[in-house]
Amino acid sequence: MKFSEKATLGLLFSLTLIVAGCGQKSASDANTASTGTSVPVKTETAKLNVQVSFYPMYEFTKNVAGDLADVHTLVPAGMEPHDWEPTPQDIASLEKADVLVYNGAGMESWIDQVTGSLSNASLIQVEASKGINLLEGGEHEHHHGESEATEHDHDHDHANEATTEEHDHDHDHSDEATAEEQHDHDAEAEAGHDHDHGGLDPHVWLSPALAVKEVRNIEAGLAQAAPEHAEQFKQNADAYIAQLESLDQDFKAAVTDSKRKDFITQHAAFRYLAKEYGLQQVPIAGLSPEQEPSAAQMASVIDFAKEHQVKTIFFETLVSSKVSETIASEVGAKTAVLNPIEGLTEEEIAAGMDYISVMRQNLEALKLALNE
Protein backbone atom coordinates (compact mmCIF):
# COMPACT_ATOMS: atom_id res chain seq x y z
CA MET A 1 0.00 0.00 0.00
CA LYS A 2 1.28 3.39 -0.94
CA PHE A 3 0.89 6.49 1.29
CA SER A 4 -0.56 9.57 -0.33
CA GLU A 5 1.80 12.49 -0.79
CA LYS A 6 -0.12 14.49 1.84
CA ALA A 7 0.18 11.72 4.42
CA THR A 8 3.89 11.32 3.71
CA LEU A 9 4.57 15.04 4.25
CA GLY A 10 2.61 14.94 7.53
CA LEU A 11 4.64 12.00 8.79
CA LEU A 12 7.94 13.67 7.95
CA PHE A 13 6.87 16.86 9.77
CA SER A 14 5.94 14.89 12.92
CA LEU A 15 9.28 13.07 12.91
CA THR A 16 11.10 16.39 12.60
CA LEU A 17 9.34 17.73 15.72
CA ILE A 18 10.15 14.60 17.73
CA VAL A 19 13.85 14.72 16.81
CA ALA A 20 14.05 18.42 17.66
CA GLY A 21 12.38 17.85 21.02
CA CYS A 22 14.76 15.05 21.93
CA GLY A 23 17.73 17.25 21.11
CA GLN A 24 16.72 20.04 23.50
CA LYS A 25 17.68 18.97 27.01
CA SER A 26 17.03 21.11 30.03
CA ALA A 27 19.90 22.36 32.13
CA SER A 28 18.92 19.78 34.73
CA ASP A 29 19.05 16.98 32.13
CA ALA A 30 22.46 18.17 31.01
CA ASN A 31 23.73 18.11 34.57
CA THR A 32 22.37 14.61 35.03
CA ALA A 33 24.10 13.42 31.88
CA SER A 34 27.46 14.94 32.81
CA THR A 35 27.55 14.15 36.55
CA GLY A 36 25.16 11.28 37.00
CA THR A 37 23.10 13.30 39.49
CA SER A 38 20.42 15.91 39.08
CA VAL A 39 21.63 19.35 40.14
CA PRO A 40 18.94 22.01 40.46
CA VAL A 41 19.70 25.18 38.58
CA LYS A 42 18.75 28.36 40.44
CA THR A 43 16.92 31.10 38.69
CA GLU A 44 16.76 34.72 39.73
CA THR A 45 13.46 34.06 41.52
CA ALA A 46 14.48 30.80 43.24
CA LYS A 47 14.12 30.85 47.01
CA LEU A 48 17.11 30.34 49.26
CA ASN A 49 17.27 27.04 51.13
CA VAL A 50 18.08 28.08 54.69
CA GLN A 51 18.65 25.66 57.55
CA VAL A 52 18.67 27.00 61.10
CA SER A 53 19.71 25.27 64.30
CA PHE A 54 16.83 25.93 66.71
CA TYR A 55 13.77 28.10 67.28
CA PRO A 56 15.09 31.63 67.98
CA MET A 57 17.28 31.37 64.89
CA TYR A 58 14.20 30.35 62.89
CA GLU A 59 12.20 33.30 64.18
CA PHE A 60 14.92 35.85 63.43
CA THR A 61 15.78 34.36 60.04
CA LYS A 62 12.19 34.02 58.85
CA ASN A 63 11.47 37.64 59.69
CA VAL A 64 14.51 38.80 57.70
CA ALA A 65 14.04 36.42 54.77
CA GLY A 66 10.30 36.87 54.34
CA ASP A 67 9.12 35.09 51.19
CA LEU A 68 12.61 34.99 49.68
CA ALA A 69 13.72 31.81 51.48
CA ASP A 70 12.44 28.47 52.67
CA VAL A 71 13.58 28.31 56.31
CA HIS A 72 13.80 24.94 58.06
CA THR A 73 14.62 24.23 61.73
CA LEU A 74 16.89 21.32 62.53
CA VAL A 75 15.83 20.83 66.17
CA PRO A 76 12.21 19.59 66.19
CA ALA A 77 9.48 21.52 67.98
CA GLY A 78 9.20 20.72 71.68
CA MET A 79 12.73 19.31 71.95
CA GLU A 80 15.33 20.81 74.29
CA PRO A 81 18.23 21.86 72.01
CA HIS A 82 21.22 21.84 74.37
CA ASP A 83 22.09 18.18 73.86
CA TRP A 84 20.45 17.60 70.48
CA GLU A 85 22.57 15.97 67.77
CA PRO A 86 21.84 16.03 64.00
CA THR A 87 20.66 12.88 62.25
CA PRO A 88 21.91 11.60 58.86
CA GLN A 89 18.77 13.17 57.37
CA ASP A 90 19.77 16.52 58.86
CA ILE A 91 23.24 16.19 57.37
CA ALA A 92 21.68 15.48 53.98
CA SER A 93 19.57 18.63 54.32
CA LEU A 94 22.68 20.69 55.07
CA GLU A 95 24.36 19.33 51.95
CA LYS A 96 21.58 20.90 49.89
CA ALA A 97 21.33 24.17 51.84
CA ASP A 98 22.44 27.63 50.72
CA VAL A 99 22.69 29.05 54.24
CA LEU A 100 23.09 27.64 57.74
CA VAL A 101 22.18 29.95 60.63
CA TYR A 102 23.21 29.02 64.16
CA ASN A 103 23.55 30.86 67.45
CA GLY A 104 27.11 29.91 68.34
CA ALA A 105 28.80 30.47 71.73
CA GLY A 106 28.72 26.71 72.31
CA MET A 107 24.93 26.34 72.00
CA GLU A 108 25.35 23.97 69.06
CA SER A 109 28.07 21.63 70.32
CA TRP A 110 27.92 19.70 67.06
CA ILE A 111 28.51 22.61 64.71
CA ASP A 112 32.25 22.33 64.01
CA GLN A 113 32.27 18.57 63.51
CA VAL A 114 29.22 18.59 61.25
CA THR A 115 30.15 21.56 59.07
CA GLY A 116 33.70 20.27 58.79
CA SER A 117 32.41 17.03 57.30
CA LEU A 118 30.15 18.61 54.68
CA SER A 119 31.00 18.57 50.98
CA ASN A 120 28.74 21.59 50.41
CA ALA A 121 31.52 24.09 49.69
CA SER A 122 29.09 26.89 48.81
CA LEU A 123 27.23 26.75 52.15
CA ILE A 124 27.20 30.17 53.85
CA GLN A 125 27.45 29.79 57.60
CA VAL A 126 26.02 32.55 59.78
CA GLU A 127 27.02 32.62 63.45
CA ALA A 128 24.33 34.92 64.83
CA SER A 129 26.19 35.78 68.05
CA LYS A 130 29.36 36.82 66.24
CA GLY A 131 30.69 40.14 67.49
CA ILE A 132 28.77 40.05 70.79
CA ASN A 133 30.83 40.17 73.97
CA LEU A 134 29.95 36.81 75.47
CA LEU A 135 29.82 36.02 79.17
CA GLU A 136 31.66 33.12 80.72
CA GLY A 137 29.34 30.18 81.15
CA GLY A 138 30.99 28.41 84.03
CA GLU A 139 30.35 31.13 86.54
CA HIS A 140 27.33 31.53 88.78
CA GLU A 141 25.38 34.61 89.63
CA HIS A 142 25.42 36.31 93.00
CA HIS A 143 23.40 34.49 95.59
CA HIS A 144 24.24 37.03 98.28
CA GLY A 145 25.50 40.56 98.24
CA GLU A 146 25.87 42.96 95.37
CA SER A 147 23.39 42.91 92.51
CA GLU A 148 24.14 42.80 88.81
CA ALA A 149 22.71 46.31 88.74
CA THR A 150 26.05 47.68 89.92
CA GLU A 151 27.73 46.16 86.87
CA HIS A 152 25.03 47.01 84.35
CA ASP A 153 26.08 48.40 80.99
CA HIS A 154 25.94 47.56 77.32
CA ASP A 155 29.24 45.70 77.04
CA HIS A 156 28.84 44.17 73.61
CA ASP A 157 32.06 43.83 71.67
CA HIS A 158 31.61 43.99 67.89
CA ALA A 159 34.16 42.10 65.89
CA ASN A 160 31.90 42.47 62.87
CA GLU A 161 30.93 46.09 63.46
CA ALA A 162 29.92 46.53 59.82
CA THR A 163 26.85 44.32 60.25
CA THR A 164 25.57 46.09 63.36
CA GLU A 165 26.87 49.65 63.28
CA GLU A 166 23.43 51.13 62.54
CA HIS A 167 22.14 49.94 65.90
CA ASP A 168 25.28 50.20 67.98
CA HIS A 169 24.79 51.50 71.51
CA ASP A 170 27.79 49.86 73.12
CA HIS A 171 30.39 51.30 75.45
CA ASP A 172 33.97 50.19 75.64
CA HIS A 173 34.94 49.05 79.13
CA SER A 174 38.38 47.57 78.74
CA ASP A 175 38.75 46.57 82.37
CA GLU A 176 35.17 45.37 82.86
CA ALA A 177 35.67 41.74 81.93
CA THR A 178 38.39 41.35 84.55
CA ALA A 179 36.33 43.06 87.23
CA GLU A 180 33.21 41.08 86.41
CA GLU A 181 35.12 37.82 86.39
CA GLN A 182 36.59 38.52 89.83
CA HIS A 183 33.20 39.62 91.16
CA ASP A 184 31.47 36.49 89.88
CA HIS A 185 34.15 34.24 91.30
CA ASP A 186 33.77 35.92 94.69
CA ALA A 187 30.02 35.42 94.56
CA GLU A 188 30.46 31.83 93.50
CA ALA A 189 32.76 31.07 96.39
CA GLU A 190 30.29 32.70 98.76
CA ALA A 191 27.43 30.60 97.44
CA GLY A 192 29.50 27.42 97.55
CA HIS A 193 28.91 26.50 93.93
CA ASP A 194 31.22 24.53 91.69
CA HIS A 195 31.62 25.27 88.01
CA ASP A 196 28.96 23.25 86.26
CA HIS A 197 29.55 24.22 82.64
CA GLY A 198 32.68 25.17 80.76
CA GLY A 199 32.91 27.65 77.92
CA LEU A 200 30.53 30.50 77.21
CA ASP A 201 26.95 31.37 78.05
CA PRO A 202 25.06 31.09 74.72
CA HIS A 203 21.68 32.58 75.75
CA VAL A 204 22.18 35.97 74.08
CA TRP A 205 18.79 35.89 72.30
CA LEU A 206 17.02 36.47 75.64
CA SER A 207 18.20 40.07 75.66
CA PRO A 208 16.12 41.95 73.06
CA ALA A 209 19.02 44.38 72.59
CA LEU A 210 21.34 41.50 71.68
CA ALA A 211 18.64 39.88 69.56
CA VAL A 212 18.85 43.02 67.40
CA LYS A 213 22.51 42.29 66.76
CA GLU A 214 21.79 38.66 65.91
CA VAL A 215 19.17 39.79 63.40
CA ARG A 216 21.69 42.14 61.77
CA ASN A 217 24.20 39.30 61.44
CA ILE A 218 21.55 37.11 59.84
CA GLU A 219 20.64 39.92 57.45
CA ALA A 220 24.27 40.17 56.38
CA GLY A 221 24.49 36.41 55.78
CA LEU A 222 21.34 36.30 53.67
CA ALA A 223 22.52 39.32 51.66
CA GLN A 224 25.76 37.47 50.98
CA ALA A 225 23.81 34.46 49.71
CA ALA A 226 21.43 36.53 47.57
CA PRO A 227 22.88 40.01 47.03
CA GLU A 228 20.14 40.85 44.54
CA HIS A 229 17.71 40.82 47.49
CA ALA A 230 19.92 42.70 49.96
CA GLU A 231 17.65 45.75 50.07
CA GLN A 232 14.56 43.63 50.79
CA PHE A 233 16.40 41.78 53.55
CA LYS A 234 17.34 45.12 55.08
CA GLN A 235 13.77 46.40 54.94
CA ASN A 236 12.51 43.19 56.57
CA ALA A 237 15.20 43.36 59.24
CA ASP A 238 14.43 47.01 59.97
CA ALA A 239 10.75 46.22 60.46
CA TYR A 240 11.45 43.33 62.82
CA ILE A 241 14.11 45.24 64.74
CA ALA A 242 11.55 47.97 65.38
CA GLN A 243 9.52 45.36 67.28
CA LEU A 244 12.60 44.22 69.20
CA GLU A 245 13.51 47.78 70.13
CA SER A 246 9.96 48.40 71.37
CA LEU A 247 10.26 45.24 73.48
CA ASP A 248 13.61 46.44 74.80
CA GLN A 249 12.10 49.76 75.87
CA ASP A 250 9.21 48.00 77.61
CA PHE A 251 11.64 45.86 79.62
CA LYS A 252 13.58 48.95 80.65
CA ALA A 253 10.42 50.74 81.74
CA ALA A 254 9.15 47.72 83.67
CA VAL A 255 12.22 47.27 85.86
CA THR A 256 13.01 50.93 86.53
CA ASP A 257 10.75 51.27 89.57
CA SER A 258 10.36 47.60 90.54
CA LYS A 259 10.46 46.74 94.24
CA ARG A 260 13.17 44.12 93.81
CA LYS A 261 15.89 43.32 91.30
CA ASP A 262 16.41 39.58 91.88
CA PHE A 263 14.62 36.54 90.50
CA ILE A 264 15.16 32.78 90.86
CA THR A 265 15.24 30.68 87.68
CA GLN A 266 15.38 26.98 86.97
CA HIS A 267 18.62 27.20 85.01
CA ALA A 268 21.10 29.95 84.21
CA ALA A 269 19.57 31.13 80.94
CA PHE A 270 18.75 34.75 81.77
CA ARG A 271 22.09 36.32 82.59
CA TYR A 272 22.22 38.50 79.46
CA LEU A 273 18.68 39.70 80.10
CA ALA A 274 19.50 40.39 83.77
CA LYS A 275 22.67 42.26 82.87
CA GLU A 276 20.92 44.36 80.22
CA TYR A 277 18.27 45.58 82.65
CA GLY A 278 20.19 45.74 85.91
CA LEU A 279 18.66 42.63 87.44
CA GLN A 280 20.09 39.71 89.41
CA GLN A 281 19.46 36.19 88.16
CA VAL A 282 19.70 33.48 90.82
CA PRO A 283 19.80 30.13 88.99
CA ILE A 284 19.00 26.83 90.69
CA ALA A 285 21.18 24.90 88.23
CA GLY A 286 23.73 25.80 85.57
CA LEU A 287 23.55 26.45 81.84
CA SER A 288 22.02 23.09 80.96
CA PRO A 289 18.39 22.71 82.04
CA GLU A 290 18.89 18.96 82.24
CA GLN A 291 21.48 19.31 84.97
CA GLU A 292 20.46 18.34 88.50
CA PRO A 293 21.57 20.84 91.14
CA SER A 294 23.65 19.58 94.04
CA ALA A 295 22.37 19.57 97.61
CA ALA A 296 24.61 22.56 98.32
CA GLN A 297 23.14 24.47 95.39
CA MET A 298 19.60 23.70 96.54
CA ALA A 299 20.39 24.81 100.07
CA SER A 300 22.00 28.03 98.84
CA VAL A 301 18.97 28.97 96.73
CA ILE A 302 16.58 28.14 99.56
CA ASP A 303 18.60 30.33 101.94
CA PHE A 304 18.56 33.17 99.40
CA ALA A 305 14.82 32.86 98.83
CA LYS A 306 14.09 32.94 102.56
CA GLU A 307 16.48 35.81 103.27
CA HIS A 308 15.11 37.95 100.43
CA GLN A 309 11.48 36.83 100.83
CA VAL A 310 11.21 35.62 97.24
CA LYS A 311 7.59 34.83 96.40
CA THR A 312 8.01 33.28 92.91
CA ILE A 313 10.29 30.48 91.70
CA PHE A 314 10.48 30.33 87.92
CA PHE A 315 10.54 27.16 85.83
CA GLU A 316 10.42 26.57 82.07
CA THR A 317 8.31 24.68 79.57
CA LEU A 318 10.57 22.09 77.92
CA VAL A 319 11.95 20.41 81.06
CA SER A 320 10.57 19.10 84.35
CA SER A 321 9.52 21.69 86.93
CA LYS A 322 10.14 19.32 89.85
CA VAL A 323 13.19 21.14 91.27
CA SER A 324 11.50 24.55 91.13
CA GLU A 325 8.40 23.13 92.78
CA THR A 326 10.50 21.57 95.55
CA ILE A 327 12.17 24.89 96.38
CA ALA A 328 8.87 26.79 96.14
CA SER A 329 7.28 24.37 98.58
CA GLU A 330 10.23 24.71 100.97
CA VAL A 331 10.05 28.52 101.11
CA GLY A 332 6.29 29.01 100.73
CA ALA A 333 6.51 30.52 97.25
CA LYS A 334 4.53 29.91 94.06
CA THR A 335 5.91 28.80 90.69
CA ALA A 336 5.57 30.53 87.33
CA VAL A 337 6.98 30.15 83.83
CA LEU A 338 9.96 32.17 82.63
CA ASN A 339 10.56 30.85 79.15
CA PRO A 340 14.11 30.67 77.74
CA ILE A 341 12.56 30.22 74.26
CA GLU A 342 14.89 27.40 73.30
CA GLY A 343 11.92 25.91 71.50
CA LEU A 344 8.14 26.18 71.38
CA THR A 345 5.80 23.50 72.66
CA GLU A 346 3.09 22.12 70.39
CA GLU A 347 0.55 24.10 72.41
CA GLU A 348 2.47 27.35 71.91
CA ILE A 349 2.73 26.70 68.18
CA ALA A 350 -0.99 25.97 67.97
CA ALA A 351 -1.70 29.24 69.81
CA GLY A 352 0.35 31.18 67.26
CA MET A 353 3.05 32.16 69.75
CA ASP A 354 6.39 33.54 68.58
CA TYR A 355 9.53 35.09 70.07
CA ILE A 356 7.95 38.52 70.61
CA SER A 357 4.79 37.20 72.26
CA VAL A 358 6.70 34.77 74.50
CA MET A 359 9.10 37.52 75.55
CA ARG A 360 6.13 39.71 76.41
CA GLN A 361 4.79 36.89 78.57
CA ASN A 362 8.21 36.75 80.23
CA LEU A 363 8.03 40.50 80.79
CA GLU A 364 4.64 40.26 82.49
CA ALA A 365 5.83 37.35 84.66
CA LEU A 366 8.90 39.31 85.72
CA LYS A 367 6.88 42.45 86.46
CA LEU A 368 4.71 40.47 88.87
CA ALA A 369 7.66 38.71 90.55
CA LEU A 370 9.71 41.89 90.91
CA ASN A 371 6.89 43.75 92.60
CA GLU A 372 5.74 41.19 95.17
Q: Compute the average pLDDT of residues 197-225.
A: 93
Give the pLDDT confidence score for residue 308 in this predicted structure.
Answer: 95
* Res. 66: pLDDT tops 80: yes
Alpha helices (runs of H) in 26-172, residue ranges in sequence order = 27-35, 55-65, 88-96, 111-117
Query: What pTM does this model have?
Result: 0.75
Give the pLDDT confidence score for residue 190 in this predicted structure.
Answer: 35
Give the pLDDT confidence score for residue 77 in this predicted structure.
Answer: 85
Give the pLDDT confidence score for residue 166 in this predicted structure.
Answer: 40
* Res. 149: pLDDT tops 50: no
The H or E element containing residue 236 is: helix 230-256
Give me the helix-helix angle, 208-225 and 55-65, nearest 10°: 60
Q: Are 59 and 355 in contact (CB under 8 A)?
A: yes
Instruction: Give the pLDDT confidence of 187-209 residue by residue, as tens digits.
Output: 333 333 333 334 899 999 999 99
Q: Which of 233, 213, 211, 215 is nearest to 223 (CA)?
A: 233
Tell me the pLDDT of the chain averaged across its residues.
Answer: 79
Q: How confident is the model at residue 291 (pLDDT cuts 50, 70, 90)?
A: confident
CA distance 72 to 83: 19
Instruction: Give the pLDDT confidence of 300-355 residue by residue, as tens digits.
Output: 999 999 999 999 999 988 888 899 999 999 999 999 999 999 999 889 999 999 99
Give the pLDDT confidence score for residue 79 in this predicted structure.
Answer: 85
